[in-house]
Amino acid sequence: MQKNTFKRKTLPSLAMAGPVSLWMILFVTLPMLYIIYISFMSRGVFGDVVYKFSLESYETLLDSTYFKVILKSIKAAFVTTVLCILIGYPFAYYIAKKPKEVASKLIMLIMIPFWTNSLMRLNSWLLLFQTSGPVNNFLLSTGFIDTPMSFVYTDGLVMVGMITNMLPFAVLPMYSSIEKLSRSLLEASADLGASGRTTFFNITLPLTFPGIFSSIILVFIPSLGIYTVTDMLGGGKVLYIGNIIKNQFGSIRNWPLGAALSVLLIVITGLLIYIYTRFAKIEDMEVL
């Protein structure tokens, strides 16, 4: 009988989940374990990995230069997230209040940058903002400035790049939670004496909070590890964790240090996801 239940229940689910699990183990879990393993090894003279236990890489992380970069990256990711939410929420709200056909077109507009090659997108930013680019030309011709401003390879431009890159991730979850909000709840609130503003803070905002939180996670985590935007718009002059990891594995060839930095990112990500699931549970209970 036991064998029978196994055949009937366990086997089919194993058949379905099996390949995916195997794939995940092979290509996600194992590499991750390997990264963790390497982070505790030492670096050889020729940039190779010497398989001898050492905490050297982690000690380097605490070194002030690296530590500063880490803090700076966290700060940049934080600012990106806050701005994406602040810009994205009104935008998501606006779209959600439009009729369905209009809304789907607007969503489409947001998605278009996703489908263009990111190198092309970032390069066009550089062209736009370079010393003799259209933005400077425009500012010069209107007389706002009399010498061209240097936008490229600055923290400012990197920030603008990060925000535009991440905005769609912020808008979509918030849009879907605002859109799901039943109109009759807002009408009930108005009926009972609330102005539009009061209704927003009492009903709309709390009920769309899960969406906001998803957006935070979806923006913050990639922002922390991003290196394409910082590489291109920062021109290698502006360093974030992502760039350093890339360099350690690439040109500098200090794999244990790169691995240790990666582990740090994984830990931060894991922590956030843990908070998220805990939070989501509480939220569920609130709604129940």
| Smallest distance from other proteins to CB 106, Å | 22
| Chain residues in the site for other proteins (CB under 8 A) | 182, 184-185, 187-195, 198, 202-203, 206-207, 286-288
Which residue(s) pair with 251 in the sheet? none
Nearest residue (CB) to other proteins, 48 versus 286: 286
Least separation in angstroms between CB 97 and other proteins: 15
Helices (H), 25-99: 30-39, 56-62, 64-96
Structure tokens given for 249: 């594995």
Closest CB to other proteins among residues 28, 185: 185
Choice between 204 and 254, CB closer to other proteins:
204
Task: Please identify which residue in the block is written with the tokens 């055949």.
Answer: 7
In eight-state DSSP terms, residue 48 is: P
Residue 107 CB, nearest approach to other proteins (Å): 24
Pairwise CA distance, residues 193 & 242, whole Å = 51
CB nearer to other proteins: pick between 107 and 190: 190
Q: At closest approach, how far in Å is the CB of 121 from other proteins?
A: 39
Q: Residues near 235 by Cβ (< 8 Å), separated by ≥ 6?
A: 152, 153
Q: Which is nearer to other proteins, 207 or 272 (CB)?
A: 207
CB of 181 to other proteins, least distance (A): 10
In angstroms, the CA 38 to CA 44 distance is: 12
**Angstrom distance (rounded) from CA 103 to CA 109:** 10
What is the closest distance, in whole angstroms, from the C-beta atom of residue 15 to other proteins in the complex? 36
The DSSP code sequence of 166-209 is HHHHHHHHHHHHHHHS-HHHHHHHHHTT--HHHHIIIIIHHHTH
C-beta closer to other proteins: residue 48 or 284: 284
d(CA 77, CA 29): 26
Contact 61, 67 (CB under 8 A): yes
47 token code pair = 């940039």
* Residue 277 CB, nearest approach to other proteins (Å): 19
- Helical packing angle, 155-180 and 209-225, nearest 10°: 150
Which C-beta is closer to other proteins: that of 61 or that of 194? Answer: 194
Place of tokens 């259209």: 134
